[in-house]
Structure 1
Amino acid sequence: MKHASRGSNASGSRQTEKSFTDTLMGLKRRGCCVLVTGQVDERVRAAQSRRLFGERETSRQRVLTLTDATSDLDAQYLPESITPAHSSVTTLNYTGVVRDIASTADPTAELPPTAASSEPSDSMGNLGDLLYDSIKETIRAGQTVPGELRLGIATLCVLLDTDGLSATEAFVRALRADVLAVGGMAHFHLPCSPGSETLAALDPLIDIHIELRESNGSVEHRWRLSETDHVTDWLPLQR
C-alpha cells in the first residue's frame, strides 16, 4: 500500500512504507478496530467490507451486523464465494428492529452520559444494549481462536441518531474490548458525514481510519493508522 510522501528522498519513502506495513501487520496480529467513513454508494462500502472480512481461503469467523444497511446486499459485504449461508458467516439483521426503535424514540429524552467503564449496561441506549448483547453472545458461541474473528457493523449512523454520541461511544468501547480479547478485527461503517465531535469521541477507540470517496467515476480509499499517524495516498478500491 503506497504511503503518502513525507520527504523527497527515495530511502526515506521506503522506510516510511516499511514502517506503515509493519504497524499494520502488528495491528492485525494483536487485534484492532477500523472506522470506515465517506458518503459513497453502499456497494462501495460493501467492497471495503469484503477486504476487511478476509480472504475466503483463510479460516475466519465472520459476523456481519446490519442496522440500516440494505438487507438484499448482505452477500456483497462478504468475500467472493462466501455466501451468507456459509458456515463461517453469522448475519445479525436488525434493520426491522432498528426501524421500530427509531420510529418510537423520543428525540427530547435525555441521553445517558458517557461512562468511564467498559461495562455496557450503565452507559448504552436501548439499541446499543440490544446490538451489543447479540454480538457478544455470537462471539462467545463461536468459540473463536485468536485472530479468527472478523466483525462488521453496517452502520453506526442509526445508533448515533437513536441513542446519541455518548451511548455510541460506549457501544464501540465495549465491542472493542471483546474483539481485542480474542485478537480479532472489527470494522464500523459511518457514512453519515460525521462531525468533528463524533470523530474526536471515537478516535481513541479506533486503530485504523479508512476514508472512501468516488472521484471522476472511480472509487478510492485512504488509510490512516492512529498509532503512528501514517496516512496513505488515495488508492483505487477494487470492487
Structure 2
Amino acid sequence: MEARSRGERADGALFAQTLESLKQEGANILLVGPGAKAAHERVCCRLLGELSDQPRYRLIVTASETTYRGHSCTAAETGPETNVFKIDPPADGQSAGSTDSAVLAAENRCETETKETHLTHTPEVSLSVLGSAVFDAVTEIEAGSDGLEPAELRVCVDSLVPFLSDYQTETVFRFLHMTTASVKQVSGMGHFHLPLDADHDAVNLLEPLFDATVEVRIRDGGYEQRWYLRDSNGPSEWIEL
C-alpha cells in the first residue's frame, strides 16, 4: 500500500466506487484497532458475507482460543460450505516435534457443511504448512464450485498477533503473501485481524500486502470503522457499524 496521509479524507464517491471494485476484483483487508473486540466481530461478520442472501464459501484460520469470534457462523444460513483451520497448542505430554500433519474432522454448524482441520502449533509446524493448506483449500473450493464468482469466497484469519509473537517477521510476511495471493487468484475477499493501533510498527510493516486497512473503534457506546484504501489520498470518515 502506498504511503498516505491519515489526516486527509477520501472522496465519498471515489470511496464507494473503490469498494465496489474490491468486491469485483478480489481484495485482502487488514482489520486493526485495539480494545474493540465487539467492533472486530461486527466487521468480521459483514466481511464474511453472513448478512447477505447470496451463497458464500468461507475459509477460517483461527486459534483454539479464538480472539475475536467463535466462527460458528451464527448468521450463516446460506453458505454452502465453511472450512476452518484451527491452530491447536501441543497436547499434554506431546513432543514439540511429534507432528507436522493435519487431521481432518467434520462437524455441522448452523446447518452448513463445515470441515475443521486441526494443525498442532509447534515450532516445527511452520507457517508454510498452514499457507500450503490454505492454498490447497482454496483450490479445492474453486474446483468444487465450477468456478467462483467475485467475492463468493470469504476468508478470515483471526488473528495475526500469535503469528507475530511466535514466528520471525519474515516468516509471517511470506505466509501472508501466499495467503493473500490465493484469495486474489479467485477474486475472493479476505480479512485479517490485527488488533493493534493503526500507526503500530507491525501495521505499517504488513499493510503493503493488503488492498485496504480498516480501523475500528468503540465510541460513545457505538461501533465505528474507517477505511484506508490503496491509492487514495486519505481515510474515509468514521462510519457507524
**Global fold match (TM > 0.5):** yes
3-state SS of the aligned residue for 1:80? coil
Confirm or deny: 8 A CA contact 2:216 2:225 kept in the other structure.
yes
User: Which residue in 2 is equivalent to 1:203?
Assistant: 207
Distance 1:230 1:21, change over 3 A: farther
Kindly indicate whether residue 85 of structure 2 is the aligned counterpart of residue 92 of structure 1. yes
Question: TM-score if structure 2 supplies the norm length?
Answer: 0.72
User: Which residue in 2 is equivalent to 1:114?
Assistant: none
Tell me the amino acid that sits aligned with residue 182 of structure 2.
D
Provide the rounded CA distance (Å) in 2 between the counterparts of 1:43 and 1:172.
25
Distance 1:202 1:229, change over 3 A: farther
Provide the rounded CA distance (Å) in 1 between the counterparts of 2:158 and 2:203.
17
More helix, by proportion: 1
Provide the rounded CA distance (Å) in 2 between the counterparts of 1:207 and 1:178.
14
Confirm or deny: 8 A CA contact 1:207 1:227 kept in the other structure.
no
User: Which residue in 1 is equivalent to 2:33?
Assistant: 38
Superposed displacement of residue 155, structure 1: 0.4
Kindly indicate whether residue 12 of structure 2 is the aligned counterpart of residue 48 of structure 1. no
3-state SS of the aligned residue for 1:224? strand
Note the alpha carbon deviations across 1:97-119, whole angstroms, 9 max, x for none: 4899xx969xxxxxxxxxxxxxx
Confirm or deny: 8 A CA contact 2:31 2:191 kept in the other structure.
yes
Superposed displacement of residue 133, structure 1: 2.0
The residue correspondences of 1:58-207 to structure 2 (distance < 5 A) are 58-67=54-63, 68-70=65-67, 73-75=70-72, 78=73, 80-82=75-77, 87-94=80-87, 96-97=88-89, 126-143=125-142, 144-147=147-150, 148-193=152-197, 196-207=200-211
3-state SS of the aligned residue for 1:186? strand
Note the alpha carbon deviations across 1:176-234, whole angstroms, 9 max, x for none: 11111111111000014476432232122111111111123222111110222341111
In structure 2, the gaps of 5 or more residues are 1-5, 98-123
3-state SS of the aligned residue for 1:231? coil
Confirm or deny: 8 A CA contact 1:212 1:219 kept in the other structure.
yes
In structure 1, the gaps of 5 or more residues are 8-12, 106-124
More strand, by proportion: 2
Note the alpha carbon deviations across 1:119-163, whole angstroms, 9 max, x for none: xxxxxx844123212211211111251422110000000000011
Query: How large is the RMSD of aligned CA atoms in angstroms?
Result: 3.1
Superposed displacement of residue 65, structure 1: 1.3
Provide the rounded CA distance (Å) in 2 between the counterparts of 1:135 and 1:35.
18
Question: TM-score if structure 1 supplies the norm length?
Answer: 0.73
For CA contacts below 8 A with separation 6 or more, give which structure has more relative contact order: 2
Provide the rounded CA distance (Å) in 1 between the counterparts of 2:59 and 2:223.
25
Provide the rounded CA distance (Å) in 2 between the counterparts of 1:132 and 1:235.
33
Provide the rounded CA distance (Å) in 2 between the counterparts of 1:42 and 1:99.
28
Tell me the amino acid that sits aligned with residue 140 of structure 1.
T
Identity of aligned residues (%): 23
Provide the rounded CA distance (Å) in 1 between the counterparts of 2:233 and 2:149.
26
Provide the rounded CA distance (Å) in 2 between the counterparts of 1:22 and 1:223.
13
